């Protein structure tokens, strides 16, 4: 009788444990980033011109494909290739590339630097937002910009920079400091 009682207790115990452990949770993974796109750490992406030769290089700490064809970057640096002879390097906290049109949106502590720059002098452009078209060698913003050309300093609201031509157009509210 004691053996039967022990056997009954073991059966009830195993039934109870199986019931507690047997509950499964169904997780929907249809919207996960793994199935919808890709991400890269220490990303390096090369952009080519119409002739197929290297035009520019994008380096970022992190890149992730979003819905559609957009790619978001964090801590990004963009530079033209040595063969292009456009001595500009652009840095930003974040950037987004969409397929059409070929435009890179730079955001957060955007900084464009050239050792040759405008007027042949070291040039630095700072803003919080910049639309960059690498194929057209063009950078534009409607936001506030701060520009240093050698010892000269300018601020403005809005700017168009034609990087290949080393030409800069300021849109409005221009003020500056010129040291002889």
In the chain the beta strands, taken as DSSP E runs, fall at 39-48, 54-65, 71-80, 88-98, 103-114, 123-133, 138-149, 152-162, 167-177
Q: Per residue in 41-80, pLDDT tens? A: 998 988 888 888 889 999 999 999 877 778 899 999 999 9
pLDDT value of residue 24: 45
Instruction: Check pLDDT > 90 for residue 139.
Output: yes
Condensed to tens digits (0 to 9), the pLDDT of residues 22-47 reads 544 444 444 444 446 678 899 898 88
Report whether pLDDT(84) > 90.
no
The widest CA-to-CA distance across the chain, in whole angstroms, is 109
Model-level pTM?
A: 0.74
Residue 150 region by backbone torsions, left for phi larger than 0, else alpha for psi between -120 and 50, else beta: left
Residue 16 located in a structural domain:
no
C-alpha to C-alpha distance for 25 and 97, rounded to whole angstroms:
38
* CATH of residue 128: 2.60.450.10
Query: Is 13 part of any domain?
Result: no
Q: Is residue 18 part of a domain?
A: no
Which residues constitute the domain of residue 107? 32-177
Count of the separate structural domains present in the chain: 1
């Amino acid at each position: 009788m004691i053996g039967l009682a022990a056997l009954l207790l073991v059966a009830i115990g195993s039934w109870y444990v199986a019931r507690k452990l047997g509950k499964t949770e169904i997780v929907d993974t249809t919207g996960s980033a793994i199935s919808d796109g890709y991400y890269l750490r220490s990303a390096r992406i090369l952009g080519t011109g119409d002739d197929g030769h290297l035009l520019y290089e994008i380096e970022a700490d992190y890149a992730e494909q979003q819905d559609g064809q957009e790619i978001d970057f964090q801590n990004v640096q963009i530079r033209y290739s040595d063969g292009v002879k456009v001595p500009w390097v652009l840095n930003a906290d974040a950037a987004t590339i969409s397929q059409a049109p070929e435009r890179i949106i730079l955001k957060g502590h955007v900084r464009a630097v050239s050792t040759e720059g405008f007027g042949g002098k070291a040039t630095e452009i700072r803003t919080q937002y910049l639309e960059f078209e690498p194929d057209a060698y063009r950078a534009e913003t409607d936001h506030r910009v701060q520009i240093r050309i050698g010892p000269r300093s300018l601020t403005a609201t809005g700017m168009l920079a034609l990087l290949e031509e080393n030409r800069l157009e300021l849109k409005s509210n221009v003020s500056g400091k010129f040291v002889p």
